A and B are shown apart, each in its own frame.
Chain A
Amino acid sequence: MSPEMIRLIANSTGETLYMVAVSALIATLFGLPLGVFLATSAKGELFAAPWINRVLGVIVNATRSTPFIILVVAIIPFTRLIAGTSIGTNAAIVPLTIAATPFIARLIESAIREVDQGLIEAARAFGASPLQIVLKVLIPEALPGIVLGLTLAIVSLLGFSAMVGAVGGGGLGDLGIRYGYQRFMPEMMLAVVVVLIVLVQAVQSIGDRLARHLNKRIRHA
């Protein structure tokens, strides 16, 4: 493999990491409160607002059912508005964030729902407000599940980020399409796939380890 190729792979890997990191961060910023709200706003729950809950649920499902590649194209005007362009790494962050937010919200919702209802009851019994229950009980107790959910989301984002390469988004997918496919360089395609595999493995094992460390329900030897 030529030094030129190695430089290209390194650059693209950097772009991919940048896109994934920024979109994961923003999507978590929006997805966390959304997920908490979805988990606590059904009938009879802490922030009971069944009607809003249902509407948000429909929006989340609609976004999640739209194929990512179509979402990328469909929101181009919006992407231009936010990023000033529809091409390149920064532009790719917009659809990635929009696709990841409802996904993360659902993952966080299910992690929060796993928390024993008895803890909410105990917290209410000692005088905690709904916000205190979320911040001091639900999120800390759901944290191992949240970390696993975010790990899953980041792995999915790595896959999505390769897809934005198809529409000029930069990163490893872009490299694979332009060099590996359009210029018939199978060794480049192979390199891209190997780098992605290594990234996914790394993210997953870091996530697993962190979640295990946070989970105090299991006795550690």
Chain B
Amino acid sequence: MNAPLGYIGDTPAQRLVPAQPIVRLEKVSKTFPGRDGQPVTALREIDLAVPQGSILGVIGRSGAGKSTLIRLVNGLEKPSSGKVIVDGADIAALPEAALRHARRSIGMIFQHFNLLSSRTAAQNIALPLEVAGFDKAEIRTRVEELLALVGLTDKRNRYPSELSGGQKQRVGIARALATKPKVLLSDEATSALDPETTRSILDLLARINDELGLTILLITHEMAVIRNIAREVAVIEGGRIVEQGDVFEVFTRPQHEVTRSFLADESGRALPPYVASRLQTEATPDSQAVVRIGFRGPHATDPVLARLARDLNIETNILSGSVDEIAGRPFGTLVVGVPEASLSTTLDFLKKHGLDTEVLGHVA
């Protein structure tokens, strides 16, 4: 698994240069001709910049336009308007032959792996090299390096039907890296895999990003993928990017409804059913306020409720909670019931301690 990796040809010193966007989408729109003659707009005025060496995740529900977005980057789709710049070249304006050449520096992996069933693992990895016209000896050396990189040296002569899902995706990754690309596009690469395999594939992608300095643009509908490896995130909905920025910032202080809905899918963040069903908007004499407290970064481990009880003698009732990690930083959520009379004091106290609060409602 831990094979030498120093072959992509950039030194650590080069990677420290301030990150220039290697992929840039400028006011990109895409319209498809619809079945009934009505054009369907998949993307509207998308602006997106993927800094060199970063991992940017685009998250969206199915039909949000994320598949179209990623296919614009390697020219599998042409934008209806706007520019797609990859490594300085306008992908949409390139003639076919030049586009094929440019695609060698843009690797792509797929949800369903898309491996040739008639070729072994090694032969699948060799295919882009054969297509690019490398000679046999070069191909053999390169394929061995790649098999070692993805930890499949002992499976080189297996056909895809003899490999597990995770192993197939490793072959897919090795194939995508064969021509030493600068950018890797990941199209729902872990969506067909179980959580444990997903984790190992994401670890591999993170390692490739770290050790080879490869820029990764991924699309997913899974929050776990973004949380585990992305550093930047763009949330896409109805063909528009509705929120974009540092993963921790976006997911700890979500501004848009869709972003919140992705967070709600996460365990511990949704209200428990017995609270949700009794939640009302107005306070009543015997109700308590339901407050969501977000603990970010350094505050995530503060014993703040204990202090609240000790310093102000306010007793809270814990309804649900979780402590998680987003982009490597701890992030906690706690939903508590607070006596109505102490609500404003409590909120002031929490804000003073640098915590995010949100009053969700009241329960009797």
Contact = CB atoms under 8 A, between A and B. Distances in A.
A103 to B, nearest CB: 25
Interface of B is mostly: mixed
A132 B104 CA distance: 15
A109 interface: no
B101 A217 contact: no
Nearest to B176: A126
Contacts of A123: 127, 131
Given A126-B127, A136-B127, A136-B130, A216 B118 contact: yes
A128 B118 contact: no
A122 to B, nearest CB: 4
B159 interface: yes
Interface stretch (A59-67, A74-82, A137-145, A177-185): A137-145
A171 B25 CA distance: 69
B161 A216 contact: yes
Nearest to A144: B118
Given A216-B159, A219-B161, A126 B128 contact: yes
Contacts of A128: 100, 128, 131
Nearest to A119: B114
Given A126-B108, A126-B179, A219-B161, A214 B118 contact: yes
A216 to B, nearest CB: 4
B112 interface: yes
Contacts of A141: 116-118
A125 B127 CA distance: 12
B40 interface: no
Contacts, number: 76
A3 interface: no
Interface string B198-238: 00000000000000000000000000000000000000000
A122 B76 contact: no
B176 A118 contact: no
Given A136-B131, A218-B161, A121 B104 contact: no
B190 to A, nearest CB: 16
A201 interface: no
A157 B106 CA distance: 48
Interface of A: 116, 118-119, 121-129, 132, 136-137, 140-141, 143, 214, 216-219
